[in-house]
Amino acid sequence: MPRIGKVSGSSIPPLHTATYRRVQDEVTQGHPQRQHLYEEIEAAFKKKRKVVTFCTSFVFPVIMEDRDADIIEEVLQNTDLDGKELLLILNTPGGDALTAERIVNICRSYSDGGRFSVIVPKMAKSAGTMVCFGAYEIGMSPTSELGPIDPQIPIFDDDGNLINYLAAHEIIESYEKLMTQANKTKGRLEPYLEQLQRFDAREIRRIRSSQELSESVAINCVQTEHFKGMRSSQIKTKIAPFLDPKYTKVHGRPIYHDVAKRCGLNVKTYPLKAKLWQAVWNLYVRLDHVLSTHVAKVVESATDSYNMMVARRPI
């Protein structure tokens, strides 16, 4: 089971701090090594925005899940947002659509004025993209990535072990194609019936519901900020690259800032060498080091830091 731990501190250890402790903090990239970057980013916005980071590992098999929303709310409970807007720095491969919806609601509820902005240092895919839809401004660089929101369905072997993920639309299209061929054939049905045995009609209905949920969450999130007063059918047309799997071909294909802008999203593009973006990138690289070793998720601000650990398998 994942373990949640809290780390807090006020500043980088001073020079007179024991050498071993300072070296250990530097190697493990503890929270004190990042605090000055939060202060630098907030200063760039003239301290009108308060920065909170939510980053998850791309190495460990982790996804955004319901408990993450609670940890984000805990950090926001401990953060002084009086008169300040929340700026969420987000980096995640995605996860549960309902979690994304909860995170958007939490961020809006705590941010002054009821709206928040987001910055994507590298990737906010799938449900991470949905969170970005809920922000009034999406900060990206030319290399930052959003992604399609079509659900990915876990595939297990006979022993219950996860072996792969398949796109929901691929499963449904395969099922529908087999059904159509079986109904049209005038020859032997056995080859089609044998393949159709792999599908469960109840599971197909559940997968369709997952697709409908993802689309509903995405439209509701983006409608509040980016497309106020626009009908759902119009929004679907506007954000088609995020909804239609035929656009990206595969789930992992990036959607960059230029496409997001053409969809009508309020995207602010930061130059790669801008001072603010260098601070954001510095923060991302330090967190990525932590998330590439033994930590699955990090939620933190300048004063609070929570992480979720992943138990290592014995060698």
- Tell whether 248 and 111 lie within a shared domain: no
- Name which of 260, 43, 252 is nearest 133 in CA terms: 260
pLDDT higher for 221 or 207?
A: 221
CB 211 within 8 A of CB 168: yes
- Tell whether 95 and 15 lie within a shared domain: yes
Residue 117 to residue 136: CA distance in whole angstroms: 6
- Confirm whether 315 is domain-assigned: no
pLDDT exceeds 80 at position 315: no
User: Domain of 238?
Assistant: 149-252
- Confirm whether 23 is domain-assigned: yes
Residue 312: which pLDDT band, with cuts at 50, 70 and 90? very low
- Tell whether 154 and 136 lie within a shared domain: no
Of the listed ranges 4-13, 125-134, 285-294, the one predicted with least confidence: 4-13
- Confirm whether 314 is domain-assigned: no
- Tell whether 239 and 270 lie within a shared domain: no
What per-residue confidence (pLDDT) applies to 90? 98
Residue 8 to residue 74: CA distance in whole angstroms: 13
CATH number, domain with residue 134: 3.90.226
Structure tokens at 275: 């001072």
- Tell whether 15 and 132 lie within a shared domain: yes
- Tell whether 200 and 265 lie within a shared domain: no
pLDDT higher for 206 or 91?
A: 91
Q: How many residues make up the chain in this entry?
A: 315
CB 305 within 8 A of CB 79: no
Residue 235 to residue 228: CA distance in whole angstroms: 10
Structure tokens at 43: 């200063």
Q: Which long-range contacts (CB under 8 A, 24 or more apart) does 287-291 make?
A: 287/29, 287/34, 287/53, 287/55, 287/91, 288/55, 288/91, 288/122, 289/29, 290/28, 290/29, 291/55, 291/56, 291/57, 291/58, 291/59, 291/60
pLDDT exceeds 80 at position 8: no
Q: How many domains does the chain have?
A: 2
- Tell whether 128 and 165 lie within a shared domain: no
pLDDT mean over 161-189: 82
pLDDT tens digits for 73-116? 999 999 999 999 999 999 999 999 999 999 999 999 999 999 99
What per-residue confidence (pLDDT) applies to 6? 57
- Confirm whether 25 is domain-assigned: yes
- Tell whether 155 and 220 lie within a shared domain: yes
- Tell whether 260 and 224 lie within a shared domain: no
Written as one letter, the residue type at 281 is W
Find the Cα–Cα–Cα–Cα dihedral 141, 144, 148, 151, rounded to 10°: -140
What per-residue confidence (pLDDT) applies to 181? 86
Residue 189: which pLDDT band, with cuts at 50, 70 and 90? confident
What per-residue confidence (pLDDT) applies to 251? 75
Of 232, 252, 272, the residue at which a domain comes to its end is: 252
- Confirm whether 43 is domain-assigned: yes
Query: Helix or strand or coil: residue 230?
Result: coil
- Tell whether 24 and 140 lie within a shared domain: yes
pLDDT exceeds 60 at position 14: no
Tell me which DSSP letter residue 87 carries.
E
- Tell whether 7 and 112 lie within a shared domain: yes
- Confirm whether 176 is domain-assigned: yes
Of the listed ranges 75-84, 120-129, 174-183, 284-293, the one predicted with least confidence: 174-183
- Confirm whether 55 is domain-assigned: yes
- Tell whether 110 and 183 lie within a shared domain: no
